[in-house]
Amino acid sequence: MIYLDYAATSIKREEILREIFDNKEAFDGNPASTHASGRRAKAILESSRESIADSIGADPSRVIFTSGASESNNTVLASFRGSKLITSNIEHDSILNTVDKENTIFLKADKDGMISLEDLKEALSEDVKLVSLMYVNNEVGSIQRVKEIGEFLEDKDLHFHIDAVQAYGHIDIDVEKIKCDSLSLSGHKIGGLNGFGILYLRDDLGAFIRGGEQEKDRRAGTSYTMGAYSMARAFEKTKAERAKIKEVKEYFIERLKKTGIDFEVNGKLENASDHILNLYFPAFRSDFLLTYLDMHGVCASAGSACRAGSLEPSKTIMSMYDEYRALHSIRFSFGFTNTKEDIDKLIEILEEVKK
């Protein structure tokens, strides 16, 4: 199998799973318990919190463990329910399907997958209390100018939230430099366990899950120690793999150009994360091409995996371009298992389709 759908979820890292299972007793206890087993788990949990906080330039006390970025995004939006907010038209579904559309201003992304700071300035008013934007787009990989936006919003009476899921591990993140008030991450995108993420909060928004006193009374529920550990360890590995992932992506583009297959890049390569590549194939419908690739052992996608397996055209590509292009576009996303040999095999398969 050639797995090229890392933006949906990463292949799990066997070495991290082995570390967990080889030291299973250290993870067995409830970190909230005061006995020895609980203390061991608590030590791992807090050490992981420190590592994750350090990876985004944050104080560990401001990092809240959640079930993932969808929960984190929903938490921020719920805290501003009834308020006017600004987001873009190419955000993740956990934003787009949660906002009150009548109270939301949607900034339109251009064909590079970027929003205009001037459009944001024009849309801003004293009524706006939340601006929520994605750092790296999950479908085309465009890197939003969040530092520039954060500097502009810094002295405004509003909350600036960033969905940084696809940025994490692939580009440097520093919450102080980008001046965000909150930021969401998920561990499974980089090889951590599913069902774990974080919400960075510069200032508390109040308790969002009530029950026990976990996460300093902000988010109740038994702590997921294995999830925290796996995310912290996966970050170290992902950061070290950046050059390899970039090389594989560039090799794919280079080989594809030599095939004579008609294609165009969706977005702008010069301003995209190295692990995401979205391509428009005018001659092939994406549903056909995905099925063909799947039959030959290649995993890719036509867009976000959060549409429950749907093969509907990507709303992001439709927003940036048009429906025809969306119906003929494929997202390839790369990770630590991919090699140039994988790309050679993929090119062979694509050349067979061309025939």
Pairing status of strand 159-163 against strand 104-107:
unpaired
Q: Alpha-carbon distance 45 to 188, whole Å?
A: 17
CA-to-CA distance for 147 and 135, rounded, in angstroms?
A: 10
- Amino acid identity at 231: M
The CA distance from 195 to 292, in Å, is 31
Which helix or strand (DSSP H or E) is residue 48 part of?
A: helix 36-55
φ/ψ bin of 59: left (φ > 0), alpha (ψ from -120 to 50), beta (otherwise): beta
- In this structure, what token pair is assigned to residue 169? 């591990």
User: By the 8 A CB rule, do 326 and 310 touch?
Assistant: no
Query: 8: which DSSP letter?
Result: T
List phi, psi (to 5°) of 111: -70, -10
| DSSP secondary structure, 250-311, as one string | HHHHHHHHTTT---EESS-GGGB-TTEEEEE-TTS-HHHHHHHHHHTTEE-BSS-GGGTT--
C-beta separation of 152 from 330 below 8 A = no
Question: Is 306 part of the annotated catalytic residue set?
Answer: yes
CA dist list (Å): 182 to 126, 201, 258 = 20, 5, 44
**Edge-to-edge strand ranges of the sheet holding 276-280:** 264-265, 276-280, 329-333
- Cα 166 from Cα 146, distance rounded (Å): 14
Among residues 156, 206, 306, 310, which one is catalytic?
Answer: 306
**Do the beta carbons of residue 26 and residue 45 sit within 8 Å?**
no
d(C-alpha 272, C-alpha 343), whole Å = 20
Active-site amino acid positions: 306
